[in-house]
């Protein structure tokens, strides 16, 4: 049980510059991922999931934003304090990432083979021939046949599902210990989605990786997550083990998300949707950011930020409803 965290994020603050001021895309986020664990990060689009992942990767474009505060400890080393070159040598090797859009994530003018082998050659100092051998094995491993043919083809010749498999092959090519997958199935057909998820899950087991899986699809969460973190407007509002969280959601937003999820065999007249919109992330006043949309909104919710409270073993929620319950 007491496995060491492979990734620990403390009080991460990531801001983007915009005309109206600074956008706190990731607002004081702390989380950890243990060895072998699959952690799912969920939330509506625009709540800072990608920004969290990009901050870990050190890939926030300096012309549009920055990590202003916090720590990102990967196996105990703070990635934010690391020299650029040292970080680059870890990136793609010890931790790797795959993205939402497989169609645009590969370079259109380089062959698949070139794009798979270049990171192997960069990180593992293999010869071209050895790298090609490894590349062919990887193509096979992610479930595509005709390795040689795929190796010399260009991205536009493959389907989205195949490209995402290639992206996965690239990501695992140097045996990373942590894989970050940012909505890896969102852009794909439903049938392909399941295949890709299966592939990710199997690879994770076989290779003993940890995984941070970003999604807004609770069906995906239910299938693969060990632990779930719910984000809203740049903040974590609830987190807990998957079964616990699905059975016993605490935060009104989490409850709303679960109610909004269509359930098979349970046709309802109308799918539930959470009313309202995500607030503008610029200049938010101290308050619960969900208060405007919350049916249980109390006066304290609009004036004070709810702290993170442990409800049960490793199940935390940031909501004034439970604050009272505990303090009374």
Partner 1 sequence: MRNYVLKRLLYLIPTLIGASMLIFFLYSLVPGNFVDSDPNLTTERKAELYALYGFDQPDIERYFIWIGNLLQGDLGYSLQFQRPVTEVLGNYIWSSFFVALASLILTWLIAVIIGVVSATKQYSFFDSFITIIVFAAMATPSFFLGLILIKFLAVDLGWFPAGGMITTGSNLTGWDYVKDVAEHMILPVLVLTMLGIGGLTRYFRTNMLEVIKQDFVRTARAKGLKERVVIYKHALRNALLPAITLFAFELPALFSGAIITEQIFNWPGIGAIYMQAFTVRDYPLLMGFTMFIALLTVISNLLADLLYGVADPRVRLK
Ligand X SMILES: Nc1ncnc2c1ncn2[C@@H]1O[C@H](COP(=O)(O)OP(=O)(O)O)[C@@H](O)[C@H]1O
Residue ranges that bind Mg ion, judged by CB under 5 A: 50
104 binds, options ligand X, Mg ion, partner 1, none, Cβ within 5 to 8 A by partner type = partner 1
Among 166, 209, 242, 281, binds ligand X (CB under 6 A): 281
Q: Which is nearer to partner 1, 173 or 239 (CB)?
A: 173
CA distance to 97, 106, 279, per residue, from 173 (Å) = 11, 15, 40
> How many residues belong to the chain?
328
CA distance to 27, 146, 213, 221, 223, per residue, from 186 (Å) = 25, 26, 12, 13, 15
Among 50, 164, 193, 215, binds ligand X (CB under 6 A): 50
Question: Near ligand X by CB under 6 A, which window of 18-26, 131-139, 161-169, 269-277?
Answer: 18-26
Please report how many Cα atoms fall inside a 13 Å half-sphere around the Cα of residue 22, on the Cβ side. 12
**Which own/partner pairs from 110-117 qualify as long-range (CB within 8 Å, at least 24 positions apart)?**
110/154, 111/151, 111/152, 111/153, 111/154, 112/139, 112/150, 112/151, 112/152, 112/153, 112/154, 112/155, 112/158, 112/166, 113/150, 113/151, 113/152, 115/166, 115/170, 116/151, 116/166, 116/169, 116/170, 116/173
76 binds, options Mg ion, partner 1, ligand X, none, Cβ within 5 to 8 A by partner type = none
**Using CB under 8 A, which residues numbered 94 to 123 contact partner 1?**
96-97, 99, 101, 104-110, 118-119, 122-123
**Taking CB under 8 A as the rule, does residue 88 contact partner 1?**
yes
**Which own/partner pairs from 123-128 qualify as long-range (CB within 8 Å, at least 24 positions apart)?**
123/89, 123/92, 123/93, 123/174, 124/93, 124/174
x/- binding map, residues 152-191, to partner 1, per CB under 8 A?
--x-x----------x--x---------------------
Q: What SS3 class is residue 100?
A: coil
Question: Near ligand X by CB under 6 A, which window of 47-55, 78-86, 152-160, 318-326?
Answer: 47-55
9 binds, options partner 1, ligand X, Mg ion, none, Cβ within 5 to 8 A by partner type = none
**Taking CB under 8 A as the rule, does residue 45 contact partner 1?**
no
* Interface residue list for partner 1 (CB under 8 A): 57, 59, 63, 88-93, 96-97, 99, 101, 104-110, 118-119, 122-123, 154, 156, 167, 170
* Interface residue list for ligand X (CB under 6 A): 16, 18, 23, 25, 43, 45-51, 61, 64-65, 281
């Amino acid at each position: 049980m007491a496995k060491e965290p492979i990734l620990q994020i403390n009080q991460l603050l990531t801001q983007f510059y915009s005309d109206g001021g600074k956008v706190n895309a990731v607002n004081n986020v702390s989380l950890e991922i243990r060895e072998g664990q699959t952690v799912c990060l969920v939330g509506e689009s625009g709540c800072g999931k990608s920004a969290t992942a990009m901050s870990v990767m050190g890939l926030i474009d300096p012309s549009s934003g920055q990590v202003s505060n916090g720590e990102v400890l990967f196996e105990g080393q703070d990635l934010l304090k690391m020299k650029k070159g040292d970080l680059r040598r870890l990136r793609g090797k010890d931790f790797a990432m795959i993205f939402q859009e497989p169609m645009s994530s590969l370079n259109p003018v380089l062959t698949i083979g070139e794009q798979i082998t270049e990171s192997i050659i960069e990180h593992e100092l293999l010869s071209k021939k050895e790298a090609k051998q490894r590349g062919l094995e990887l193509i096979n491993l992610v479930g595509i046949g005709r390795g040689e043919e795929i190796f010399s083809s260009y991205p536009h010749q493959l389907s989205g599902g195949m490209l995402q498999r290639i992206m996965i092959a690239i990501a695992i090519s140097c045996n990373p210990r942590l894989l970050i997958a940012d909505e890896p199935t969102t852009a794909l057909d439903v049938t392909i989605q399941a295949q890709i998820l299966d592939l990710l899950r199997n690879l994770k087991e076989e290779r003993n990786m940890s995984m941070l899986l970003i999604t807004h699809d609770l069906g995906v969460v239910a299938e693969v997550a060990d632990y779930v973190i719910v984000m809203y407007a740049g903040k974590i509002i609830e987190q807990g083990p998957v079964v616990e969280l699905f059975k016993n959601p605490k935060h009104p937003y989490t409850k709303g998300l679960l109610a909004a999820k269509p359930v098979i065999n349970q046709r309802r007249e109308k799918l539930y949707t959470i009313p309202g919109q995500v607030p503008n992330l610029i200049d938010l006043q101290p308050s619960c950011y969900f208060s405007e949309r919350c049916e249980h909104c109390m006066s304290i919710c609009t004036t004070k930020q709810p702290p993170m409270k442990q409800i049960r073993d490793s199940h935390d929620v940031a909501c004034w409803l439970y604050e009272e319950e505990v303090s009374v």
